[in-house]
Amino acid sequence: MSTALYQTTMAAIGKKVPEKLQPLWKHPAGPQTIFFWAPAFKWGLVLAGLSDLQRPAEQLSISQSAALGLTGTIWTRYSLAITPKNWSLFSVNLFVAFTAIYQISRALRYTYYP
């Protein structure tokens, strides 16, 4: 039932998408798929990591940052192994990994070189 509703909704929206944007709309990793929306929402993790740059290093969690860095690294690799290649997923996970690794370096510098 929900699949039919989703397909009807996407068909109605698709008719209103400008001709120039139709290739993006119809792309296998386009806005009609989870391949588009999951990376779009994951940018929230990047924004949270960037906002943590203002946080004092003693308040950073090394284990949390390590988990984010590891998952960011794994999913960065995975995004290039799947078909279609998902460059949006690649970029967001690369940024997640970089921000987490930077936070780990800040926390370790604070811990070992006060």
Residues 65 and 101 in one domain: yes
The reported pTM is 0.75
Residues 46 and 78 in one domain: yes
Domain count, the chain: 2
Residues 51 and 96 in one domain: yes
pLDDT in tens, 9-27: 888 988 898 999 888 888 8
For the domain that residue 47 is a member of, what is the CATH number? 1.20.1280
Contacts of 65 (CB under 8 A, 6+ apart): 100, 101, 103, 104, 107
Residues 22 and 39 in one domain: no
Residues 9 and 39 in one domain: no
List phi, psi (to 5°) of 111.
-70, -45
For the cut 70, the answer to whether the pLDDT of residue 91 exceeds it is yes
pLDDT in tens, 35-59: 788 888 999 999 998 999 999 999 9
Residues 68 and 85 in one domain: yes
pLDDT in tens, 60-83: 999 999 999 999 999 999 989 988
* Cβ proximity of 34 and 84 under 8 Å: no
3-state SS of 63-85? HHHHHHHHHHHHHHHHHHHCCCC
Give the rounded distance of the alpha carbon of 5 from its chain centre.
27
Contacts of 25 (CB under 8 A, 6+ apart): 14, 17, 31, 32
Range of the domain at 5: 1-27
